[in-house]
Amino acid sequence: MSQFDHFDFLAPIYDRVISLPDGDHLAQAARLPIQGRLLDAGGGTGRIAQTLRGQAGQIILSDISIKMLGQALKKGGLQAVGGVAENLPFPDHSFERVIMVDAYHHLVNQHQSMLEIWRVLEPGGLLVIEEPDILEFRVKLVALAEKLALFRSHFVRAERIAARLQTLDAVTEIVRQPPNVWIIAEKPR
């Protein structure tokens, strides 16, 4: 028996029911624009990648949900790659920036995914993770709702994500913008 895929089911309506994060804040946190490549890991329907057009030399989004990526390709001009974050199909040091917006808590293996994202990030590159802040009461309600709906979500505190990155020698910063939190990590050269 196969497991129900919430994101394949939500793909056709996802952009209408999920609000966009502050694009200006994301661009500022990721120190955009850049000439290099940007990976939108867990990029789903391309709703974030679409807002960043022109902010990087090349923007690629990756996601496990083929139906979400199908929605991204309908937007035109986006490059999408299917796959799991635990085993990204890119060579080492492929991206100057990696962003992950509202997706970290959906990763099956957060630790392995972090190692893969770090592997594809160039030395001197920047990783920006935006997540719902589990310290916020309303996010705790969302986390409960996702558990009840049998999502495979696992929300963690921003400090825990930053600590994992620090074990990889990252210089990290945490910025809270309720109800979200931003973890910004620079990879040493």
24-53 pLDDT, tens digit each = 889 999 999 999 999 999 999 999 999 899
The predicted structure's pLDDT at residue 118: 98
The predicted structure's pLDDT at residue 160: 97
> What span, in angstroms and rounded, lies between the C-alpha atoms of 70 and 92?
26
61-92 pLDDT, tens digit each = 999 989 889 989 998 888 999 999 999 999 99
CB-based contacts of 71, cutoff 8 Å, min separation 6: 11, 12, 14, 15, 44, 45, 46
Quickly state the pLDDT bin for 145 (edges 50, 70, 90): confident
Fold for 6-186, please state it: Rossmann fold (3.40.50)
Quickly state the pLDDT bin for 150 (edges 50, 70, 90): confident
Model confidence, pTM = 0.90
Residue 134 has pLDDT above 90, yes or no: yes
4-15 pLDDT, tens digit each = 566 655 555 555
| Contact criterion met (CB below 8 Å) for 62 and 85 | yes
The predicted structure's pLDDT at residue 178: 94
Q: How many CB atoms lie within 10 A of CB 103?
A: 21
> What span, in angstroms and rounded, lies between the C-alpha atoms of 39 and 94?
9
